[in-house]
Structure 1
Amino acid sequence: MNQIIPHHQTITKVKVPPSKSYAQRAILAASLGESPMQIKNVGNSEDVRHITSLAKQLGALVEKQDQSLMITGRINSPESELNIGESGLGCRLIGPIAGVLLKDYKIIGEGSILDRSMAPFLTILPQIGLKCHLNKNKLPARISGFAQGGEINIDGSMSSQYLSGLLMTLPLLNEKSNVKVANLTSRPYIDITLDVLRKFNIQIEEPQPENFIINGTQNYQLKQAYTVEGDYSGASIWMVHGALKKGIQINGLNPLSVQGDKAMLIALKKAGVNYEWVNDTLTIYKSIIQPFNFDATNCPDLFPSLVVLAAAAKGTSTFLGVNRLSNKESDRGLVLQEEFTKLGLNIQLKGNQMVINGTGGLKGGKINAHNDHRIAMAGAIAAALTNEGAIEIIGKECTSKSYPEFWEDFDLD
């Protein structure tokens, strides 16, 4: 399906969706406990639905109550074939976690996840006693053995999600574990994992950076309902929209969040955008955008929003972290270059660097979302920069992966 966004479309108030990064971790954490736990504000994104399905496949009883889930873990026997849908995080978390509950299991997926490498499993899982077989480094994954703790060394340069999977698994094992990580990228996502684990009564020590000490025989527990905080990734789209149009009030964010995409506020300051907080409401003011430089290595999901912001500036902006974009829902760096060229924006990719030569405006046109939710949303807000004409998004439905209410919030049919 396609979506046409007129250049005059203006939104001045919005509530952001729940963070799927937090929601997915919390749902799995609850499924690993043995007492009922309530997760509030989970949202309706595809990734959350996939993780909820995984919780059930692992044997949890899941009852939906409006925007909440009541989860009781280990009620039923886990399934030996686990379908992670298109959730990359779900795959990398469930790889080791299922080894606590099953001796032999298979991980399958759907859509774009089948084209993404899972090669790190081949070096990580054997260190906790699990054998793994992949199809040319991709799914399906066949895993067997008995998970056990101990001394573990991993390379964190491919994705921090593999480390998150270990951090959620190792507390359940009998042995004490010592995990040492080299070349860790996306550290903020590990901080999200640790934040969720603390809420579920799991203790992990970090005596030195990237060295994690985990005692075994811990139990996942909640003293009260867990509420998922708002998503900075989705909010970044509205931040740019507000700065380019008439300003915007964004509700539902945690000002003290450890989400890596909160760094969008740093990028806004660099670009000359003014904003202020009142409790959990962030107000972005219409601003004159200046060229800026920004390191997005630890927040690669911000690239699409950053590209639109840089397009609004007259001059050259430079971003680092392009090497983090090739294993997303699309090869996001190349797709941004290809699709925004159609709108008149000059984007150059130089190794790990993206250089954007902004002119302060874009022309209307048609772009393909490439089944990438963040490309579709960036294309929508890019319409704010067209002096005339609209932008048409091919494949608008992909926004359901992280933000199913996006087009409704954009006040479009």
Structure 2
Amino acid sequence: MTTRKIISHSIQAPTVTVPGSKYLANRYIVIAALAGGVTTLRNLPQNDDIEAALEAVSQLGARVSYVDDGVVEIEGITNFQLDSDITINCRDSGTLSRFITAVASNMTSDVVIDASEQMKQRPMDEVSQSLRELGVVVDSDKLPIRLRGPILGGVVELDTSRSSQYLSGLLIACLRAESDTRILLKGKTVSSSYIQLTKDAIARFGGVVSEVSDTELLIPAKQQLRATEINVASDVVSSSYFMAAGLLAETSIRLESFDFESPQGESQFYMVLEKMGAEVVKQGESLVVGYKGPLKGIDVDMGDMPDVVPTLVVLALFAEGKTNITNIAHLAFKESNRIVDLCDQLNRLGANIEYSNDSIHVSGGQDLQLSNLSSCHDHRLAMSFALIGIRLPGVVVEDAQAVEKSFPLYWEFLEKIGVKSEEL
């Protein structure tokens, strides 16, 4: 476990190009494994989650070749009957655990899906039960899970009120089902923009998902996906940290190659910042976020952009007035409980943050005191907590290596824009 202290900053209108999106990359990798031919992925982010995903599809029989930095070729699986049982370790990736469990259900030999101790605590009930109803043999509702396919298809009900990843995984997996699959949605679907991300990714490989109604999806059987070439767009969640860094330093920041067209809810985070008083300018494919005065507290529904909630909470600490963040119950099922752990850690600074099972309420302008903050082994908390050091130099982030999950070069990127830290 590593610990980082934020020493100082000298941010002066920097320009940043953020690495490719792990959300897109995770989808492209598993779909490429089901496609015929060789898919080329460029600007692929290099982090622990993506390494785990590439290793997982290779264990299932896809051929993975590293061509250059950030460039990978994936030849799709040709034999869905493995010679021997395999165990796939999803490490700390909740997304992969849901996606690869569904994809592996196309195999006609036994596959065990396992993960870190922390990931074993995350719910898998919905995807396990859905796969059983679609003809897959599944031995458990929690990791590790042993399963054997193939997916026969049919009709299944799915509760998406806790995580959209269950649905995304099934949409991808059922592309190869023996017969058509109808998924009936129940409960309020959280992070619906991530479902659109999955549908768009499937379409890039020639796959089809039809919307029968708002609560019913149809996936035609035995689809022949086509290999393709994709330049992975910049990660919009990672971009949020640099937007916040510029505002906390009372300067501006330019983000190059920003993905304005992304259906991912977090791509609209700059609009939240604009509502708080930031100056936002679009310049071609660049986004400039600038400070033009103290930020103001706001009331905001973050249901469709959950992964930038920690970034927003940190900004809200230094805003005027109160920020009320709602519709975020699904944050309890991330790498940490991002409601409880986020707020409890920040309150160690003397912050005034209240929370419920689906909301966070931050009173800005508090007199904060230096304290060590634990990332709780959550990359989003680690990266957000680091930003506090711009206003409160000397703050310490424990378990700082958690950033390796999605952004291993985060500390170097902060250094490039003028935020200095040291490993203790």
The answer to whether the 8 A contact 2:151-2:178 is kept is: no
- Corresponding residue for residue 56 of structure 1: 58
Structure 2 counterpart of 1:201: 206
2:143 alignment partner, SS class: strand
Alpha-carbon contact 1:330-1:372 (below 8 Å) kept: yes
Shift of 1:56: 0.3
Kept in 1, the 8 Å contact 2:310–2:342? The answer is yes
The CA RMSD measured in Å over matched residues stands at 1.7
Classify the secondary structure of the residue corresponding to 1:359: coil
Q: Does 1:139 align with 2:140?
A: no
The aligned residue for residue 293 of structure 1 is 299
Aligned counterparts of 1:169 and 1:298: Cα–Cα separation in 2: 24
Q: Secondary structure at the match of 2:125?
A: coil
Q: Does 1:70 align with 2:76?
A: no
Q: Give deviations 1:324-354, integer Å, cap 9, x for gaps.
A: 1211111111111121112221110133221
Q: TM-score scaled to structure 2, two decimals?
A: 0.92
State the match for 1:186 in structure 2: 191
Moved more, 336-345 or 374-383: 336-345
For 1:334-413, list aligned pairs within 5 A: 334-359=340-365, 362-386=368-392, 389-411=393-415, 412=420
Would you say 1:313 and 2:315 are equivalent positions?
no
Gap change, CA 1:169 and 1:351, over 3 Å in 2 = closer
Greater Cα shift, 141-150 or 376-385: 141-150
Separation in structure 1 between the aligned mates of residue 175 and residue 341 of structure 2, nearest angstrom: 40
Give the 3-state SS of the residue equivalent to 1:332 in structure 2. coil
Q: Any conservation in 1 of the 2:106–2:149 contact (CA below 8 Å)?
A: no
Deviation at 1:139?
A: 1.0
Matched residue of 2:237: which SS?
Answer: helix
- The correspondence of residues 56-205 of structure 1 with structure 2, limited to 5 A, is 56-66=58-68, 67-74=70-77, 78=82, 80-134=86-140, 137-182=141-186, 183-205=188-210
Distance 1:17 1:361, change over 3 A: farther
Secondary structure of the residue aligned to 2:364 is strand
- Structure 2 CA distance for aligned equivalents of residues 8 and 121 of structure 1: 45
User: Residue 37 of structure 1: SS of its match in structure 2?
Assistant: strand
What CA distance in whole angstroms lies between the structure 2 residues aligned with 1:114 and 1:152?
25
Which whole-Å CA distance do the structure 1 matches of 2:215 and 2:234 have between them?
A: 27
2:41 corresponds, among 27, 39, 42, to 39
Q: Which has the higher contact order (CA 8 A, sep 6+)?
A: 2
Tell me the matched-pair count.
Answer: 408
Distance in 2 (CA, whole Å) between partners of 1:256 and 1:153 is: 31
Runs (4 or more) in structure 1 with deviation over 4 Å come to 75-79
Aligned-pair distance for 1:148?
0.9
Q: Which structure 2 segments of 5+ residues have no match?
A: none
Q: Deviations over 1:70-105 (max 9, x none)?
A: 111125664532222221111111222112123422
Aligned to 1:26: 28
Q: Read off the aligned partner of 1:52 and give its amino acid letter.
A: L
3-state secondary structure, aligned to 1:85: coil
TM-score, length-scaled by structure 1: 0.94
Q: Is the contact made by 1:131 and 1:144 (CA closer than 8 Å) also made in structure 2? A: yes
Comparing 59-68 with 320-329, greater Cα deviation is found at 320-329
Q: Which moved more, 1:195-204 or 1:140-149?
A: 140-149
Structure-1 separation of matches of 2:362 and 2:43: 37
Contact 2:16 2:254 in 1 (8 A): yes
Partner of 1:4: 5
Q: Secondary structure at the match of 1:381?
A: helix
Task: Please give the alpha-carbon distance, in whole angstroms, between the structure 2 residues aligned to 1:324 and 1:19.
Answer: 21
In the alignment, what sits opposite 1:272?
277
Check the 8 A contact 1:311/1:361 in 2, yes or no.
no
Is 1:250 the equivalent of 2:255? yes
Name the CA shift for 1:60/1:397 in 2 (closer, same or farther; >3 Å). Answer: same
Deviation string, structure 1 residues 354-377 (Cα, Å, up to 9, x no partner): 110111664433211111111111
Cα deviation, residue 61, structure 1: 0.7
Q: Please identify, of 251-260 and 1-10, the stretch whose mean Cα deviation from structure 2 is larger.
A: 1-10
Q: Would you say the 8 A contact 1:362–1:385 is kept in 2?
A: no
For the pair 1:235 / 2:236, whether they are aligned, the reply is no
What is the alpha-carbon distance in structure 2 between the residues aligned to residue 401 and residue 333 of structure 1? 20
Contact 1:61 1:75 in 2 (8 A): no
Q: Within 1, Cα distance between the matches of 2:39 and 2:383?
A: 33
Q: Contact 1:272–1:290 (CA<8 Å) still a contact in 2? A: yes
CA contact (8 A) 2:160 2:167 kept: yes
Task: Determine helix, strand or coil for the equivalent of 1:410.
Answer: helix
| Residue pair 2:314, 2:388 contacting (<8 A) in 1 also | yes
* CA distance in structure 2 between the partners assigned to 1:64 and 1:129 by the alignment: 35
Letter in 1 for 2:5: I
Secondary structure, aligned partner of 1:101: coil
Verify the 8 A CA contact 1:15 1:250 in the aligned structure 2: yes
User: Once the 2 structures are TM-superposed, how far is the Cα of residue 150 of structure 1 from its aligned partner?
Assistant: 1.4
Alpha-carbon distance in 1 for matches of 2:137, 2:216: 24
* 8 Å Cα contact 1:312-1:361 kept in structure 2: no
Q: Name the CA distance, whole Å, in 2 between partners of 1:181 and 1:331.
A: 25
Cα contact 1:360–1:385 (8 A) shared by 2: no
